């Protein structure tokens, strides 16, 4: 009589890596215990890896796990605190060079330290952001990293405060990467870059080249990424003895489309004869768009108008001419976020209230070929 009983992958499987048959019963920890000839408690201890067990029992359990192709329930292990620890990164989008580089830094440093990294995006939807933070809290994430700028208003401050206290109550930690803290008493770890200093340095470079009529392009009122850049622009002009009337801040939004549209409108309004000799664009994409609009009006960079950007995206070096810009250490921001969060957790005293800590990384200018002295 033919033997129709299941093979080593019992409960409907046929060995490691096999696809279960339709309707097959899922292999449980009891199946593993029965196969290994040990108790369920022993299987649990072996799989947790943090309880002493005999070498013989461990070998039997691992053999049974392999034979049955048993899959450990990660959610249950997370709730029990015995599974691999998780780090969550929440960004606006995954196709932005800045967000992608920060996430890459977090993931690589987390992996090097035995953590699983989850990367999520909210697309600018506050409700989605809140839902993601709550999900990461339920998943017992070791810490949750919110990346990038935001509009600093009362709603923002209330939202971030709620996130921070909710995660702290669950034994987790909110980390703000390149994003401001809502207030000095909010229990968050802040890891950011010196945004204003980068803007001050690149505008000072234009001033040193002889420019006095410098346009800032890319306004986003209240946005935490943009406001420090405008402040750095204004401070550089003032420190070089220029009056407030020399400050020209125009064009709404960042990105190539906004940069192109704003510059095209500006040049249309002045008949293609601008009274500025240099442009500081709020980011490299906006600089690329502005340069494209200038070409349509027969204006050369840097022969007619010098242009600088911010971020040091990969495209900056491929523009014609290559773009002078400010480098944000995005990848290092991600890695440093993990290092600081884990170091802080290791040094924390049990029962001690979580406080706010802030760390700032430097920025620097990358000199290329988009700046020249103004034409006389």
The full DSSP string for 237-287 is: HHHTT--GGG-EEEEE--SHHHHHHHHHHHHHHTTT--S-SEEEESSHHHH
> What is the residue-wise DSSP string for 200-242?
HHHHHHHHHTT---EEEEEE-TTBTTHHHHHHHHHHHHHHTT-
Q: What is the token pair recorded at 90?
A: 């929440």
> What is the residue-wise DSSP string for 335-356?
HHHHHHHHHHHHHPPTTPPP--
Given a cut of 80, whether residue 51 has pLDDT beyond it is: no
Given a cut of 60, whether residue 57 has pLDDT beyond it is: yes
Using omega within 30 degrees of 0 as the cis cutoff, is the peptide bond preceding 85 cis?
no
Cα–Cα distance, 126 to 130 (Å, whole number) = 6
Backbone angles phi, psi at 48, to 5 degrees: -70, -35
CB count in 10 Å sphere of residue 188: 27
Choose from 2-16, 58-72, 265-279, 350-364 the range with maximum mean pLDDT.
265-279
Given a cut of 60, whether residue 9 has pLDDT beyond it is: no
Cα–Cα distance, 202 to 352 (Å, whole number) = 43
Mean pLDDT score of the chain: 87
- To 10 degrees, what angle do helices 195-208 and 226-239 make? 40
Q: What is the token pair recorded at 170?
A: 């669950």
Using omega within 30 degrees of 0 as the cis cutoff, is the peptide bond preceding 323 cis?
no
Q: Of the candidates 205, 369, 371, which has an alpha carbon nearest to the alpha carbon of residue 277?
A: 371
Given a cut of 80, whether residue 214 has pLDDT beyond it is: yes
CA distances from 209 to 167, 300, 317 (A): 49, 17, 20
Cα–Cα distance, 152 to 54 (Å, whole number) = 57
Confidence of residue 3 (pLDDT cuts 50, 70, 90): very low
Cα–Cα distance, 43 to 64 (Å, whole number) = 10
* pLDDT tens for each residue of 108-144: 999 999 999 999 999 988 889 888 988 898 888 999 9
């Amino acid at each position: 009589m033919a033997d129709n009983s299941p093979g080593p992958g019992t409960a409907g499987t046929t060995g490691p890596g096999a696809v279960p048959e339709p309707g097959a019963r899922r292999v449980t920890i009891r199946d593993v215990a029965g196969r290994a000839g040990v108790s369920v408690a022993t299987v649990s201890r072996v799989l947790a890896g943090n309880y002493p067990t005999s070498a013989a029992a461990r070998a039997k359990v691992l053999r049974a796990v392999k034979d049955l192709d048993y899959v450990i329930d990660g959610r249950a292990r997370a709730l029990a605190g015995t599974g691999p620890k998780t780090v969550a990164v929440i960004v606006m989008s995954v196709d932005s060079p800045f967000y992608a580089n920060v996430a890459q830094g977090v993931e690589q440093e987390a992996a090097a330290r035995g953590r699983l990294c989850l990367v999520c995006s909210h697309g600018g939807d506050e409700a989605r952001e809140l839902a993601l933070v709550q999900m990461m809290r339920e998943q017992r994430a070791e810490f949750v990293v919110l990346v990038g700028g935001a509009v600093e208003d009362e709603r923002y401050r209330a939202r971030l405060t709620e996130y921070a206290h909710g995660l702290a109550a669950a034994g987790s930690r909110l980390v703000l990467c390149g994003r401001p803290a809502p207030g000095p008493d909010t229990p968050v770890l802040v890891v950011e870059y010196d945004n204003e200093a980068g803007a001050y340095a690149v505008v000072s470079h234009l001033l040193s080249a002889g420019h006095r009529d410098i346009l800032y392009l890319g306004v986003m009122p209240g946005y935490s990424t943009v406001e420090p850049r405008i402040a750095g622009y204004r401070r550089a002009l003032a420190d070089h003895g220029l009056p407030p009337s020399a400050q020209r801040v125009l064009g709404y939004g960042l990105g190539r489309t906004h940069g192109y549209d704003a510059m095209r409108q500006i040049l249309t309004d002045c008949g293609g004869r601008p009274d500025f000799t240099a442009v500081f664009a709020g980011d490299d994409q906006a600089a690329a768009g502005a340069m494209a609009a200038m070409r349509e009006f027969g204006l050369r960079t840097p022969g007619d108008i010098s242009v600088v950007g911010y971020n040091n995206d990969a495209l900056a070096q491929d523009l014609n001419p290559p773009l002078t810009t400010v480098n944000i250490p995005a990848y290092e921001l991600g890695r440093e976020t993990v290092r600081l969060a884990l170091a802080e957790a290791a040094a924390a005293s049990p029962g001690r209230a979580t406080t706010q800590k802030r760390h700032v990384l430097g920025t620097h200018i990358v000199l290329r070929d988009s700046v020249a002295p103004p034409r006389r």
